[in-house]
Amino acid sequence: MGHRNIFVVGLNAFNRERLESLRGAENYRFHGVIEPEEVYDTEYFPIEDMLNRAETQLHDFGKPIDAIVGYMDFPVSTMLPILCNRFGLRTTSLESLLKCEHKYWSRLMQREVIGNYIPRFTAFNPFDDDALSRIGAAGLYFPFFVKPIKSSGSRLGFRIDSPEDFVAATARLRDEIGLISEPFNYVLDQANLPATVRDVDGGYCMAEEIIGGWQCTVEGYVYQGEVVSYGIVDSIRYPQVLSFFYYRYPSRLPKHIQNKMRELTSTIMSHIGYDDAAFNVEYFWDEVQNRIWLLEINTRISQSHCDLFEKVDGVSNQQVTVDLALGLLPDMPRRHGEFAVAGKFFYRVFFVDAVVSRVPSDEEVEALQQEFPGTVIALQVEAGIRLSSLPEQDSYSFALAYVWMGADSDEALEENYRRLADRLAFEFEDVIG
């Protein structure tokens, strides 16, 4: 049998190396479609043009195409069902995907079957001068959280504690929401939407009741209608802020809470009609009230978690995406990795702004990786970069490096990271003017 041709939207060297280590990869050929710089570290998404160029490249390939996959959030996640449909390849439908990614439609679907596990919510137009009073009329009062109907990462998400906070947040939203809303609206135009959803397009935002607690992510997939949750990853934040400190796998949540989250996941993904694709669902467990909240559904595996599964289970969960795209039941091992626990750490600074004047050298990075076996350090900045120019940052900090590590215990994992972080030598200059 010949090699199977798998196209990866935005394929870069980092992901190619992981893909080529998957089970069965000796029988696959991975090809890139759309250059990685068009989907990574950018805020400009000419999605119609990208789709047309991708279609041309795929038509010109001249050999059988067995699968098209991707691991990114917007725009890649929304491009995949459109491309796969054009080439008759497996993935979930565009409508079922949008029932996850369109935050208002997603909440409406969730309310139908798991209404006790979601916050109060309403949609609003950030360009409406009466938006705050309309939010209050919908039963939401300070504090609440606002975010776009479709966002990328944690961008443009704000906690609102006062009218002044809302004014500041909507000013940012008015300036920047178009970067996502315009290409997302193109995707919405390709789908069959109910009127209640079509009227709330990508230019709208969500206001939601504040929820919180122990945050985690259920990684799963649907294969021929069966929902499978194969791992839960904890999301640990820096104290007193919304910024992530690190992701930890496996979860330390109580087993009965993990089981309930899996049950909720199966209920909502079945209700949505999602099929033959990977997903992850983010939850909070409010330990004080003993209450589970569903935060949001993502229509992909998390790239941040790939190395964690490889370290603990023995293979990246990219295996899931590739297997599903080829029509195979995913072949994920369990606890066959080198480490008992693994984490992805976010090395952050909490500046208003600055210019990076020095980053760790290649030699310094390599020395740290050798000192802590299994560690991978990925710098996210270069000397001369102004922090405020970095894309895909949250509203409170800047991530300068990602650090993946494994260890024999949670305590050893955090201690090893602290020792490593103390030696990551970044320097900065104040911004003038």
The CATH number of residue 11's host domain is: 3.40.50
Contact assessment for residue 215 and residue 234, using Cβ atoms and an 8 Å cutoff = yes
Residues 97-123 pLDDT 10s? 999 999 999 999 999 999 999 999 999
pTM of the model: 0.93
Residues 204 and 221 in one domain: no
Backbone angles phi, psi at 398, to 5 degrees: -130, 130
Residues 178-217 pLDDT 10s? 999 999 999 999 999 999 999 999 999 999 999 999 999 9
Among 187, 209, 231, the domain boundary falls at 209
Contact assessment for residue 297 and residue 100, using Cβ atoms and an 8 Å cutoff = yes
Q: In the beta sheet, which residues pair with residue 399?
A: 348
Q: In what order do the strands lie in the sheet with 205-209?
A: 121-124, 205-209, 144-148, 158-160
When divided into structural domains, the chain yields a total of 3
Among 181, 209, 237, the domain boundary falls at 209
Residues 278 and 332 in one domain: yes
Report which of 139, 135, 149, 128 is spatially closest to residue 200, judged by C-alpha positions: 149
DSSP 67: E
Q: What confidence tier does 153 reach under pLDDT thresholds 50, 70, 90?
A: low
Q: Does residue 417 form part of some domain?
A: yes
Residues 237 and 186 in one domain: no
Residues 204 and 219 in one domain: no
Q: Does residue 110 form part of some domain?
A: no
CA 386 to chain centre: 24
Residues 264 and 167 in one domain: no
Q: What confidence tier does 430 reach under pLDDT thresholds 50, 70, 90?
A: confident
Q: Does residue 36 form part of some domain?
A: yes
Q: Is the pLDDT of residue 433 over 60?
A: no
Q: Is the pLDDT of residue 154 over 70?
A: no
Residues 167 and 276 in one domain: no
DSSP 2: P
Q: Which domain holds residue 261?
A: 214-429
Q: What is the pLDDT of residue 14?
A: 85
Residues 182 and 318 in one domain: no
Q: How far is CA 367 from CA 145, 374, 390, 416, in A?
A: 42, 12, 27, 14
| DSSP secondary structure string for all residues of 306-345 | HHHHHHHHSS-THHHHHHHHTT------SS-SS-SEEEEE
Segment 338-345 mean pLDDT: 98
| DSSP secondary structure string for all residues of 183-250 | HHHHHHHTS---HHHHTS-TT-EEEEE---SEEEEEEEEEETTEEEEEEEEEEEEPTTSSSEEEEEES
Residues 278-330 pLDDT 10s? 999 999 999 999 999 999 999 999 989 999 999 999 999 999 999 999 999 99
Residues 240 and 78: their CA atoms lie apart, in Å, by 34
Q: Does residue 418 form part of some domain?
A: yes
Q: Which two tokens stand for residue 235?
A: 């999301």
Q: Does residue 256 form part of some domain?
A: yes
CATH number of residue 254's parent domain: 3.30.470.20
Residues 154 and 38: their CA atoms lie apart, in Å, by 19
Residues 421 and 377: their CA atoms lie apart, in Å, by 11
Residues 384 and 302 in one domain: yes
Q: Does residue 112 form part of some domain?
A: no
Residues 340 and 424 in one domain: yes
Q: Is the pLDDT of residue 32 over 80?
A: yes
Residues 239 and 245: their CA atoms lie apart, in Å, by 9
CATH number of residue 192's parent domain: 3.30.1490
Residues 268 and 332: their CA atoms lie apart, in Å, by 23
Q: Does residue 114 form part of some domain?
A: no
Residues 178 and 241 in one domain: no
Residues 250 and 395 in one domain: yes
Among 190, 209, 228, the domain boundary falls at 209
Q: Does residue 388 form part of some domain?
A: yes
Residues 393 and 248 in one domain: yes
Q: Is the pLDDT of residue 222 over 70?
A: yes
What b/e readout covers 159-186, taking b as 16+ CB neighbours within 10 angstroms?
A: ebeeeebbeebbeebeeebebbbebbbb
Report which of 293, 115, 117, 296 is spatially closest to residue 212, judged by C-alpha positions: 293
| DSSP secondary structure string for all residues of 261-279 | HHHHHHHHHHHHT--SEEE
Segment 31-46 mean pLDDT: 87
